[in-house]
Amino acid sequence: MTQQPRFTFVPVGRHELHVTEWGARDAPAIVLWHGLARTGRDFDELAAALSQDHFVLCPDTIGRGLSSWAQTPQTDYSLKSYANLAIGLLDHYQIARAGWLGTSMGGLIGMRIASGASAARLSFLVVNDIGPELPQPAVDRIIAYAGSAPVFAYLHEAENWFRTAYLPFGPAPAPFWTRMTRTSLRRRGDGRLTTHYDPEIVVQFTASASELASWDRYQRITLPTHLIWGTQSDLLTEAIVERMKAQGPKPAVTAFADCGHAPSLSQPQAIGEIRQQISRLEALC
């Protein structure tokens, strides 16, 4: 039977996180954390599959989707803040340990937790197309599209924009793009549509830039780890992949040749591969 999502709001400190839940609460837990300007709904296809034998949590980071926005952007929109929110989320659900799959920024959050004092709260780590080093041209590209909110008169205009802006996600079923569009928009005061995130989220690239890249932290990770790589990615280059394979947790790598940054993980073949790798990692825990 196809699993259906549940939607809830979780208070964590001064914030309120919108969370999409999948699966039975007494099953092994896994957190799926999205990229910079995205939401937890990006994982619907993968979460539905994983929920057959996991309790899956897909939060919207603060400043995105239906979660609250930052009161102090320069400190709230940072990896340190996001990692603390993630631990608070686990505490709310009384989850002692959870698996973690993070796309882009979500991968950085996972690596920060796994390399710090709360590492024991994670059982394994899957990192989707991000590493402990960020090429500046790729960062500049991301700031360019995420730092200013586009405005649309009609839904079909917005979907065309999302399909273009996120073309590097690679192949994805039509319902993925339609859902991405509908869950990524809000109405402005003038009735037009715009992206459903706070443009201030890009402040992390300036106010807390030093925490975004750290090979020293990566070296401290001892959790079973797997790396997903879109071989056309401008954010995770082949040189960075090779260095990651040789250092720290020395992850195995799944490469998707038809993707850039970052693989959507929405196609059946990709979902099957991820489920297989998660089973392998769980056997190592």
% of the chain beyond a pLDDT of 90: 92
Residue located via tokens 């947790």: 249
Q: Is the pLDDT of residue 169 over 70?
A: yes
**Cα 57 vs. chain centroid, distance in angstroms?**
12
Residue 222: its pLDDT value, please? 98
Report the candidate in 32, 151, 154 with the shortest Cα–Cα distance to residue 99: 32
> What average pLDDT does range 34-59 have in this prediction?
98
Give 147's pLDDT tier (boundaries 50, 70, 90).
confident
Largest CA distance in the chain: 54
Asked, for residue 197, whether it belongs to a domain, the answer is yes
**What per-residue confidence (pLDDT) applies to 145?**
83
Task: Report pLDDT digits (tens) over 171-224.
Answer: 988 999 999 999 999 999 999 999 999 999 999 998 888 888 899 999 999 999
CA distance 30 to 268: 19
Strand-pairing partners, residue 195, are 185
User: What is the pLDDT of the chain when averaged over all its residues?
Assistant: 96
Res. 126: pLDDT tops 70: yes
Cα–Cα distances (Å) from 266 to 5, 9, 172, 173, 233, in that order, read 16, 25, 6, 7, 17
Residue 1 domain-assigned (yes or no): no
Of 259, 268, 274, residue with least CA distance to 101: 274
In a domain, 243, yes or no: yes
Q: Does 62 fall in a domain?
A: yes
- CATH number of the domain within which 208 lies: 3.40.50.1820
**Could you tell me the residue range of the domain that residue 203 belongs to?**
6-284
Helix (H, G, I), strand (E, B) or coil at 18: strand
Beta strands in the chain (DSSP E): 6-12, 15-22, 29-33, 55-59, 98-103, 122-128, 151-152, 185-187, 193-195, 225-230, 252-256
Q: Is the pLDDT score of 2 beyond 80?
A: no
Task: Report the number of distinct structural domains present in the chain.
Answer: 1
Percent of the chain with pLDDT over 70: 99
| DSSP assignment letter at 71 | S
User: Residue 3 pLDDT > 80, yes or no?
Assistant: no
Specify the 3-state DSSP secondary structure of 52.
Answer: coil
Is the CB of residue 19 less than 8 Å from the CB of residue 158?
no
Spatial neighbors of 153 by CB under 8 A, at least 6 apart, are: 192, 193
- For 4-15, the pLDDT digits (tens) are 999 999 999 999
* Total Cβ atoms within 10 A of residue 124: 25
What is the pLDDT, as a whole number, of residue 206? 87
